[in-house]
Amino acid sequence: MPFMKNKIQPDKNVTLISIMEPLELIEKYYPKDSKAYHFLIKHSELVTQKALQIAARVMDMNPDIAFIRSASMLHDIGIFLTDDPRLGCFGDKPYLAHGYLGRELLEKEGLEKYALVCERHVGVGISLDDIVKNKLPLPQRDMLPITLEEKIICFADKFYSKAKHSLLSEKTVPQIRGEIAPYGPEKLNQFDEWLVLFKEPCSEASASASVADS
Ligand SMILES: [Fe+2]
């Protein structure tokens, strides 16, 4: 039946997320009065706000705003499965694993596209090569942001920590660059590329700093 080829398949991700809002999904795994919920929600709200500001600067690139809004809220949903008592998380995996653990969780929820944001937002992305060379406790595959929305959320996330005393304050670009620098020039270059691509204020100063570093 040739007409079947043109039949529009419903987007599973869109359907599910419209039924279940990000907060409902988070509350399925995090008690509302828990420390982990507090840190996760505050951090995720700030990252969402930042990601939407970035998206607004690059509307010519046609970012999916609705997706960014929901996916930013869900990007760290895996943290409760890791061991970080400062965040009220008492799982048995290292914190670094929260990205792929979030992916597994959202895949079980049928949210495959959102799941990839979880896996691909850690640092400026983690390559298979990084994992093998540094013997990281992660599945051996590339975990690099690919789509525009994945890149925007990964970039926005770098501006906020979940540390108790700096949870609410946005980091400066030099601060972030200082944190990324120990992971090597490739990582710093990636961040600097995004500063320019996403028209982050003071990107010119950062670009000069990058040249001076090299
Ligand atoms: Fe985050």
Question: Would you list the domain boundaries of the chain?
Answer: 10-160, 172-214
Q: How confident is the model at residue 15 (pLDDT cuts 50, 70, 90)?
A: low
Long-range contacts, 179-188 (Cβ 8 Å, 24+): 180/123, 180/124, 181/213, 183/123, 185/213, 185/214, 187/123, 187/124, 188/213
The pLDDT tens digits for 59-113 are 999 999 999 999 999 999 999 999 999 999 999 999 999 999 999 999 999 999 9
How many whole angstroms from 125 Cα to the centroid of ligand 1? 12
CATH architecture for residues 10-160: Orthogonal Bundle (1.10)
How many whole angstroms from 76 Cα to the centroid of ligand 1? 5
The pLDDT tens digits for 31-64 are 999 999 999 999 999 999 999 999 999 999 999 9
Distance CA 71, CA 86 (A): 24
Residue with tokens 């792929």: 100
How many whole angstroms from 44 Cα to the centroid of ligand 1? 6
